[in-house]
Structure formats: structure tokens, C-alpha cells
Amino acid sequence: MNAGAIAASMQQASTSNPDAFPAFNSAQVTLLVRLLKLGSLVNGPMKDGVCEPADVTQLELKVLMALVGEGALAGHDLVEIMGVPPMNVSRAIASLRARGWIEDTIDPDNRRRRPVRLSLAGIAKCESLGPRLEDVATALVGNLTTRQAREFAKAADRIIDNMADWITRHHGDVGMKR
């Protein structure tokens, strides 16, 4: 299927009859489905525009970005935050550690917890991703007006807070910044 056919299929799916799925009739469920779609579709541009040129997997990139945003995190924190199987997170951590991009650190409040953080080389790697991230950001959100971007950011922040609340309620104390 070529890119035009994929785009046409996605447009048709986004405008298809919501009555076909009665469970999707609530406005909140419709928004949730759109959020899921955004979360899924962003993977393609990120893979093509950032991961492949930078020689990192999508999961490695997500771990790096989580560490940039949250600071030191343990593997189980990453599992809960990213919603992926523990083995996948362990492999990503092992690969990033082998590349020298992350390092172990100590949690002074819980000596049994084994968080990792970006190393100096990891910080440099993340900084090197800036131009690629900028290219993808421009392609995906560059045509939003300043007002649209501000409103989207505000809504996204609220949704992220709600997700963090969900994770805390359902999985206990996960090392996320609030």
C-alpha cells in the first residue's frame, strides 16, 4: 500500500460512522481513540526521522526521552510509564548501558531500587538528536498556529497528569516527576 492509499484509508477511518461501534459513542471514548491513534501514528515519523538515522531503536529512544524528562528511573518505573513488557525494557537498558549512554545510580531513599540515568555520553547523544527531533516536530506540528500549539500543549499536559495519576493509583509509587 503506497503512502497516498494509507493516507486515504486513515482519513476514511477517522470520518467513518461512529455508530458502527456503539462502545465508541461517548465523546470521551472518541477522544481516547484519537489519543491512541496519535500514539500509534507518531511512531512512523519518529522511526524514519529520528531512530533509523541515529541508529537507535524506538524503545531505546523512548527510554532516553523518559530519562531526559523524568531523571533517574528504575526499570520497573519505565515498565509502568511506558506500558511495555519488562523484558523489552531490560533489553533497551542493557543496550543503552553497553553503548555508554546510561549509567547506574543510587536511590538514597531506597537502596534496593536500581535506577539508571543518562551518562555524559547519553546527554551528548540526546543533544545530537535535537535537529532530527526538530525536523519531525516541524513536519507534524509545525503548521499549528501559536494558539493551537499552546492549547494542544495545555491539553496534553492535563492528559499526562491524568495518566500519571492513573499509574500511581494502579501501580503504586512510580518515580515520575509531577
Assign domain 53-171 to its CATH architecture: Orthogonal Bundle (1.10)
pTM of the model: 0.79
Hey, what amino acid is at 164?
Answer: A
Q: Give the per-residue pLDDT at 4.
A: 57
Who's near 85: CB < 8 A, 6+ residues apart?
79
Short-list 53, 57, 45, CA closest to 96: 57
Q: Give the per-residue pLDDT at 167.
A: 83
Q: What is the pLDDT of residues 110-152, one digit of tens each?
A: 888 899 999 999 999 999 999 999 999 999 999 999 999 999 9
Short-list 67, 134, 136, 128, CA closest to 96: 67
Mean pLDDT of 90-109: 95
- First-to-last alpha carbon distance for the chain, in angstroms, is 42
C-alpha cell at 160: 499526562
Q: Give the per-residue pLDDT at 144.
A: 96
Cα–Cα distance for residue pair 58/52, rounded to 1 Å: 9
Who's near 30: CB < 8 A, 6+ residues apart?
18, 24
Cα–Cα distance for residue pair 42/47, rounded to 1 Å: 9
Mean pLDDT of 9-37: 71
Q: Give the per-residue pLDDT at 26.
A: 83
Cα–Cα distance for residue pair 155/109, rounded to 1 Å: 33
Q: What is the pLDDT of residues 42-69, one digit of tens each?
A: 999 999 999 999 999 999 999 999 999 9
